[in-house]
Structure 1
Amino acid sequence: MMPAARESLLDAAYAALTRRPWSAVRMVDVAAAAGVSRQTLYNEFGSKDGLARALVRREADGYLAGFDRALTVHHDPRDPRDRLTAAAEWTVAAAAGNALVRALLTGCWSERLPSPTLVRIRSGSAVPAQRRADGPLPSPADLVALVRDRAVAVLAGPGVPRTDTAELARSCELVVRLALSCVAAPPPTEGGIADLVRRALSRQPMP
């Protein structure tokens, strides 16, 4: 199957999930919405659990890609605090707009959502994308480490001493954890996560 058709099926599954609990989402309806046969859907994902894993994997990848964009696009490249603030704002916005991203970041999976095991499962799929989806899915701790390390890689740059990189890593993790706290309990202030991050980073050494 072409990647575009796989994406269409995942789009259809996600759209169905916004309207009803995952337990009520039917494979036949997902296939019909994507304009393919139910057998084609099973050939691609193997089962409804396989479809759920692929959907969760895609939303995790989308969150990480958005985090990377927030660090690099439309912000002052000379100001790491500005870029980290943008990444924190992206994290809060992504969780607010996507229940699967919120569940991935917090570990709280409601009854409406699929709740695939995060460990690798035995995969008999011949589809490379599905074999990846059948691999381990990120836990909240995994995502904190991933985005912290991505931020350090983007912001450290060449020639930054190792001691400064260690300080930067602590600052990046602080920002990520502040963002996650705002996902769980949105701040009452008008400035929201941006004000929290700027105040926290004003007291942190940055390269």
Structure 2
Amino acid sequence: MITKKIRVFLLLTCITLFQGCATLPSSEQMRAEIVGFQLPKQPSPGKALVYVVRPSGIGGLVRFNVFVDTQADEAEVGYTRGGQYIYFGVDPGSRKISSKAENWAEWTVKVNAGDVIYLQQEPAIGIIMARNNIFPIDDTQGKYLVKTLSLGTLIKPDGIKSAPQVQPVTQSSNPVSKNTLPNPAEKLEQLDELLKKGLITKKDYDIKKAEILKAL
């Protein structure tokens, strides 16, 4: 009895897989389709914009929640179901985009202000519900999918405030400390030694001494 139920479950799963997999047109067809198409959202000043698309209908009712930088609740920016897309702003720099289903999938993007990038969520069969993967796609495919899919649920379309990324400060391999430089008293002592040893003349001594004293 159990074996029969498993077979039925696998059969239904395979049917769902075939129904959920859509074949995209060729690149030329997609480019023709998006001529004159305006994206529903452009980057805000000082930010980049990320579109996450989910064209497959596999596990279509299962939410795929999207997070930026961390997997904390407050970092969620929206979620998709099958055949939907969302968008959200991100601060420039290196940003980790996480997609939650039965599993966590991650992709790190490096963006500058004004960039528009596209990530695709790809579902797979899970043990309890659908699993997922996330990966980048090119502009043509991204725009085509945004045009043909419906809008998902936007929680924070402007994104979250990310912590500033501090660039490491590089130090010289041979840093010079003030403590390593001779002070005026030491310079005068060295000058006296040179004069006593006859390595400099009295005239040279007087000129150099005047320079040291003037620098005080």
Tell me the TM-score normalised to structure 2 length: 0.23
Larger radius of gyration, structure 1 or 2? 2
Higher normalized strand content (fraction of residues): 2
Structure (1/2) with the larger helix percentage: 1
TM-score w.r.t. length of structure 1: 0.23
